């Protein structure tokens, strides 16, 4: 008899961890640990994360092996189903990569809160509220915390509906209200000034310009290949499946936009020598400073800039939403709100000290 740790590939380059019980002969039982780690860590942060989680997994494997030697066999009874196990199960029911990615991150927060091994029937209102406070006190943006807690509420609701919990407690644990962060974008004169400012890294300059002119995200631009640029009867267009949502986009290209993409090659990346995300953002930050722009400019500001300037130029909300690949038009409406605020600010920017009812004003013939 033995207990080992096995891995199962999931989305986002990560793997779920399971305990594999070998009970003699061909008898095997696999039990989810409710944990996921990067399959091939690409940074120091990911390596540290994997090392810490694997330490926890090894401790649980060791404890399970000792139990096995004592004759305590693994069980899959519903009463023993833990929060972590059930979260992994629900994640694997999801089809969309973005949703599965959100559940993977939720599982990490469930583990860090220490409730992953708690049996579902023992989760109380107090536990759920403590988890909400755990998310609210983390470094997460309120919008992300709201999404994760929404998934956690879904977990509790499903557990109740499927009979793993005695009651649905979601009505007693509150929600996390998302507060949208201020959207930073470049006005047309700022964009013109930035692109006219010298920069050593021409690839970063061209990629950022392409984002401002198409609304494409960093993840889609750095992986953009020339075979995704198609010649159609109405002109060139980019056809790309968004890495974040897997939604297929067709983006027509204006002649000015095409020039930022450089010389076309039969195959390969459009920007083959692009920096890593953090390095590119540092370059953009210094570049914006050299251009005299005081806003906090990073690569994603290009997407915000496209959306806001497109709406300002009179393109309707539905068209901009389609160009950005938003799932719902509500995501695009945020830019309309930003634009409205900008226009109100502009309305008060031009002032005069004269008053139409001033008593010393006189009508002078010939004026």
Q: What is the pLDDT of residues 301-330, one digit of tens each?
A: 999 999 999 998 888 889 999 899 887 888
Burial (0-12, 13-18, 19+ Cβ within 10 Å), 37 = buried
Q: What is the pLDDT of residues 225-246, one digit of tens each?
A: 999 999 999 889 999 988 877 7
Rounded distance, CA 90 to CA 140, Å?
Answer: 22
- 89: three-class secondary structure by DSSP: helix
Tell me the domains of the chain and their CATH numbers: 1-75 (no CATH), 77-181 (1.10.150), 188-347 (1.10.443.10)
Of 69, 84, 255, 247, residue with least CA distance to 155: 84
Q: Is the dihedral of CA 316, 317, 322, 323 positive or negative?
A: positive
Question: Are the C-beta atoms of residues 298 and 207 closer than 8 Å to each other?
Answer: no
Residue 75 in tokens: 């069980």
Q: What is residue 356's predicted lDDT score, i.e. its pLDDT?
A: 53
User: Which of the residue ranges 171-175, 248-252, 335-339 would you say has the lowest mean pLDDT?
Assistant: 335-339
Helix segments in the chain, DSSP class H: 44-69, 83-93, 97-112, 125-136, 142-161, 188-195, 202-214, 218-221, 255-259, 277-290, 301-312, 317-324, 329-347
CA count, 13 A, side-chain hemisphere, 310? 24
Angle at 297 between CA 292 and CA 302, to 5 degrees: 115
Of 174, 177, 12, 161, residue with least CA distance to 90: 161
Share of the chain above pLDDT 90, in %: 38
Rounded distance, CA 283 to CA 198, Å?
Answer: 12
């Amino acid at each position: 008899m033995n207990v080992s740790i096995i891995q199962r590939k999931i989305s986002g380059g990560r793997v779920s961890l399971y305990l594999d019980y070998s009970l003699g002969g061909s008898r095997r039982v696999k039990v989810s640990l409710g944990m996921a780690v990067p399959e091939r860590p690409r940074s120091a942060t990911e390596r540290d994360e994997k090392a810490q989680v694997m330490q926890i997994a090894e401790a649980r494997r060791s404890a399970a092996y000792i139990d096995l030697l004592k004759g305590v066999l693994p069980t899959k009874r519903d009463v023993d189903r833990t929060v972590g196990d059930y979260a992994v199960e629900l994640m694997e029911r999801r089809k969309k990569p973005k949703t599965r990615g959100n559940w993977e991150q939720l599982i990490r927060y469930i583990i860090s809160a220490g409730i992953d091994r708690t049996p579902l029937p023992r989760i109380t209102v107090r536990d759920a509220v403590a988890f909400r406070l755990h998310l609210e006190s983390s470094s997460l943006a309120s919008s992300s915390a709201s999404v994760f807690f929404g998934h956690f509420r879904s977990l509790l609701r499903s557990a109740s509906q499927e009979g793993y919990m005695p009651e649905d407690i979601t009505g007693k644990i509150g929600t996390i209200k998302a507060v949208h962060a201020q959207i930073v974008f470049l006005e047309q004169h700022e964009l013109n000034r930035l692109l006219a400012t010298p920069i050593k890294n021409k690839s970063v300059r061209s990629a950022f310009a392409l984002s401002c002119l198409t609304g494409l995200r960093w993840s889609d631009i750095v992986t953009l290949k020339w075979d995704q640029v198609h010649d159609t009867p109405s002109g060139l267009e980019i056809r790309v499946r968004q890495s974040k949502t897997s939604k297929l986009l067709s983006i027509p290209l204006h002649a000015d936009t095409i020039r930022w993409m450089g010389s076309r090659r039969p195959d390969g990346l459009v920007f083959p020598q692009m920096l890593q995300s953090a390095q590119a953002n540092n370059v953009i930050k210094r570049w914006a400073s050299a251009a005299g722009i005081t806003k906090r400019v990073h690569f994603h500001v290009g997407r915000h800039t496209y959306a806001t300037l497109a709406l300002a130029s009179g393109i309707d909300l539905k068209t901009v939403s389609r160009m950005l690949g938003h799932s719902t038009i509500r995501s695009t409406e945020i830019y309309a709100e930003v634009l409205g605020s900008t226009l109100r600010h502009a309305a008060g920017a031009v002032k005069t000290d004269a008053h139409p009812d001033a008593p010393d004003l006189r009508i002078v013939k010939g004026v």
